[in-house]
Amino acid sequence: MPTGLKQSSSVVAIGFSANEPAANTFAQSTVDLNLSPLDREVFVVLAVNLDPSDPDAVAGVDTQISSALTTTSQTVVANLSFANCIATSKNSIRALGFADSGCAFQRTSADAPVSGLDYIGIIATNDFFVQVKGTGNLTAGKVDGKLYGYRATASADIFAALVQSEVLSA
């Protein structure tokens, strides 16, 4: 358990999705956690599963579907170097220079903590955000996923620090 936090719920799984409005168009969904700021409630993230749709197989064209989960709103699909990015996933087909539909690849950040970490992130504000964007596709892409974690109550100083850090690093 992180210092300064007291677990106030059992582990919950929260499902979410984001859909491109048209092929190769950035989209973002907002998911409300219904946290109580008056009670200094935060969400401790234990694991994230991101499942982006498969990109289109277009002969001679590299295609991909990229997705991310962040604690703040974004204007592009985040990567792990973003301060508020918790998880990413990308499905790609590398076909440039091939007469057929190429070769598929998948890249994801860890679904669960590595090296015995207690958690992979803390969401201190009321929402989290899911982004998706395709490249080179003929049809719109999407991402489905689950966020696993629990609610916790933070001490006043820890809550203030978490909220300030999350908001200022947006």
β pairing state of 63-70 and 5-7: unpaired
Structure confidence at residue 8 (pLDDT): 94
pLDDT on residue 59: 81
One-character DSSP codes across 95-134? -TT-SS--EEEEEE--SS-STT-S-SEEE-SSEEEEEEEE
> What are the tens digits of pLDDT across the range 113-147?
566 678 889 999 999 999 999 999 999 999 999 99
CATH number of the domain to which 148 belongs? 2.60.120
Q: Look up the domain containing 124 and give its range.
A: 5-168
Confidence of residue 95 (pLDDT cuts 50, 70, 90): confident
Residue 101 has pLDDT above 60, yes or no: no
Closest of 48, 49, 47, 40 to residue 8, by C-alpha: 40
**CA–CA dist 148, 154 (Å, integer):** 19
Domain total of the chain: 1
For residues 26 and 66, what is the distance between their CA atoms, to the nearest angstrom?
10
pLDDT at 105 over 90: no
